[in-house]
């Protein structure tokens, strides 16, 4: 792994989860000394839901998962790291079909029960021989812990990312565990990079899909590192049903609210970990927009601020250049009134009513920007719309990582 991000968080204690057995192996998709294929076997009866990239140039894996999700059941997950298999035509599709067929034969299920995700360089077909050899090694490997799985799915990640939540459904404790990878090419238009959630709760596929889509809108779709939506973005949730609760089918069921809250909390933890590992990042930035005409308008303005290279480099330089925030608000194409606009860094309002606050004390602002966590607030003064998004600063490290990515 590259040097660890200064914003990194330790990997939590993720317990084994009944009905899900992870294993890792070396397919050697790249010349590296590490595992790069993850295989998670899932018990019969496992429900699945997912959110996938809205990119118009998706990988064959995304197309495969999109079709398989309509059936709502899963028996395995296969994740390849080091090769995204995107923009590879018929050869890429053949690789996905081969992986699904081999995993299905091993488990005695249908190929449509196998979910596949790949991440890495775009434009290089996934070598079928390496994938099949890696799968055979994973089939024979002992079960691993979630940390090993999180490490195996990474590419430019500097630290493994995971999260855990619990909820009570009908008197039974259920567990939700998740791992995610992502560091660059992060501007999810659905989800972000590759994220996988496993729970022992029993949840009907349609309801699980409803809950994941709702959680995604407030978590994964509220982060950005560089404004670039990947061809391979995938978040999948698997519910094995081994906790023994009565299956959740709607919010009318006891425990549904608690499970929904736990799922969203888990997604938020995972999403923020990706931002904390933004390529070259040194600061974690929260952008809060209030007073917009609608929540959707607030979200678009917040993302305009979060994606602005000028705002991000100002934060990297610890410069409270609020004029760049004004620029980002104005270019968003959303309703705004210059003379009602208010901007703050941390708790200090620096601009209000269309101009700088006369004589404001820069000392607390400078101190706030020296920290690893920075908050930018904008109030539009137009309505009740609000949104919060998360991003990171833009440093020389981002250029270095991406200029050398294929070499």
Which residues are part of a known binding site? 155, 181, 192, 279, 402, 407
Burial of 201 from C-beta contacts in 10 A (0-12 / 13-18 / 19+) = buried
Q: What angle do CA 119, 219, 60 make, to 5 degrees?
A: 25
Residues 6+ apart with CB under 8 A from 404: none
Location of structure tokens 């982060």: 223
Q: Are 313 and 307 in contact (CB under 8 A)?
A: no
Tell me whether residue 313 is one of the annotated catalytic residues: no
Provide the β-strand partners of residue 174.
Answer: 167
- Round to the nearest angstrom and report the end-to-end CA distance of the chain: 15
Q: Kindly list the distances between the CA atom of residue 3 and the CA atoms of 157, 373, 380, in Å, as whole numbers in the listed order.
A: 9, 20, 40
Which letter does DSSP use for residue 125 in this model? P
**DSSP string across 172-210:** EEEEEEEEEE-SSS---SSS-SEEEEEE-S-B-HHHHHH
CB-CB contact of 46 with 202 (8 Å): no
**Overall size of the chain counted in residues:** 407
Q: What gap in Å lies between CA 259 and CA 237, rounded to an integer?
A: 13
Q: How far apart are CA 294 and CA 284, in angstroms?
A: 26
Residue numbers in the known binding site for substrate are 155, 181, 192, 279, 402, 407
Query: Strand 234-239 relative to strand 373-379: parallel, antiparallel, unpaired?
Result: unpaired
Listed in sequence order, the residues at least 6 apart from 213 whose beta carbon sits closer than 8 Å to its beta carbon are 49, 51
Cα separation, 85 vs 20, whole angstroms: 26
Cα–Cα distance for residue pair 186/195, rounded to 1 Å = 13
Of the residues 38, 119, 158, 192, which is catalytic? 192
Residue 359 token pair: 């004589």
Helix (H, G, I), strand (E, B) or coil at 109: coil
Q: Which residues are catalytic?
A: 192
């Amino acid at each position: 792994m590259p040097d660890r991000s200064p914003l990194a968080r330790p990997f939590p204690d993720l317990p084994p989860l009944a009905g899900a057995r992870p294993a890792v192996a070396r397919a050697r998709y790249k010349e590296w000394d590490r595992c790069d294929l993850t295989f998670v076997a899932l018990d019969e009866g496992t429900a699945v839901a997912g959110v996938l990239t809205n990119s118009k140039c998706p990988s064959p894996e995304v197309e495969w998962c999109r079709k398989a999700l309509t059936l709502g059941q899963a028996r395995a997950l296969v994740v390849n790291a080091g090769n995204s298999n995107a923009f590879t035509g018929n050869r890429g599709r053949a690789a996905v079909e081969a992986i699904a067929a081999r995993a299905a034969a091993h488990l005695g299920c249908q190929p449509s029960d196998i979910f596949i995700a790949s991440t890495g360089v775009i434009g290089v077909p996934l070598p079928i021989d390496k994938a099949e050899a890696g799968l055979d090694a994973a089939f024979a490997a002992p079960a691993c812990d979630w940390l090993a799985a999180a490490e195996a799915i990474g590419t430019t990640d500097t630290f493994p990312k995971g999260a855990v939540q619990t909820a009570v459904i009908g008197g039974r404790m259920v567990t939700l565990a998740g791992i995610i990878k992502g560091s660059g090419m992060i501007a999810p238009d659905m989800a972000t990079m590759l994220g996988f959630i496993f729970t022992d709760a029993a949840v009907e596929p349609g309801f699980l899909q409803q809950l994941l889509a709702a959680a995604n809108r407030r978590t994964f779709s509220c982060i950005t590192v560089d404004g670039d939506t990947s061809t391979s973005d995938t978040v999948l949730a698997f519910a094995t049903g081994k906790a023994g609760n009565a299956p959740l089918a709607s919010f009318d069921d006891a425990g549904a609210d608690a499970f929904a809250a736990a799922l969203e909390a888990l997604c938020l933890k995972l999403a923020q970990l990706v931002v904390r590992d933004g390529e070259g990042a040194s600061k974690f930035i929260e952008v809060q927009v209030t007073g917009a005409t609608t929540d959707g308008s607030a979200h678009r303005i917040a993302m305009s601020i979060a994606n602005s290279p000028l705002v991000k480099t100002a934060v990297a330089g610890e410069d409270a250049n609020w004029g760049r925030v004004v620029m980002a608000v104005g270019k968003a194409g959303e309703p705004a009134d210059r003379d009602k606009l208010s901007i703050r860094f941390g708790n200090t309002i620096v601009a209000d009513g269309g101009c700088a606050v006369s004589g404001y004390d820069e000392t607390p602002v400078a101190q706030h920007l020296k920290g690893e966590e920075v908050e930018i607030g904008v109030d539009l003064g137009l309505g009740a719309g609000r949104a919060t998004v998360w991003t990171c600063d833009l440093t020389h490290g981002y250029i270095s990582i991406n200029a050398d990515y294929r070499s």
